[in-house]
Amino acid sequence: MEILLVEDNKSDAEMAIRALTKNKVSDKIVHLNDGAEALEFIFCTGKYAERDIRQLPKLILLDLKMPKVNGIEVLERLKSDPRTMRVPVVILTSSKENPDLEKCYAKGANSYIVKPVEFVAYVKAVAEMGNYWTSLNQLPL
């Protein structure tokens, strides 16, 4: 797995996956529907207890407004744990609210992208962002 997509909106998730695969960013994408499931997956609890926590994604795309556990809570948990704090987290959301933006960067978000409304612009933004974080960005070992 290279990319973990945490998105509760089915059509937004499908568009992101299509953009990432069609533009050859990655075909190794795991899609989860909410923050609670994301935390179980990342920290290998619940139905993901058998997963190896050392198998971390290269990139996490995280929506903010989700049921159960919201994106800011997921971000906070990721960035406060030494095992996951270096994984790049890109907030991919429809929220243009400045308090959300400020909170995300304060909690350790690596980038904050407002989802374009137009399909072509959305696909282009996701593809460019995915390419940067999975191919160009260098992470410490």
16-48 burial, b for 16+ CB within 10 Å, e for fewer?
bbebbeeeebbeebeebbbbbbbbbbbbeeeeb
Centre a 10 Å sphere on the Cβ of residue 100 and count the other Cβ atoms it contains.
Answer: 20
What is the pLDDT averaged over residues 51-72?
93
How far is residue 89's CA from residue 76's CA, in Å, rounded to a whole number?
11
The CATH number of 3-130, from 3.30.390.50, 3.40.50.2300, 3.40.50.261, 3.40.50.2000, is: 3.40.50.2300
With cut-offs at 50, 70 and 90, classify the pLDDT of residue 1: low
Q: Which helix (H) or strand (E) holds 7?
A: none
What is the pLDDT at residue 141? 65
**Which stretches of 17-84 are assigned E, i.e. beta strand?**
29-32, 59-62
pTM score of the predicted model: 0.92
- Residue 50 pLDDT exceeds 70: yes
Q: d(Cα 81, Cα 90) in Å, to the nearest integer?
A: 17
The candidate with the shortest Cα–Cα distance to 31, out of 53, 62, 55, is: 62
Report whether pLDDT(32) > 80. yes
Share of the chain above pLDDT 90, in %: 76
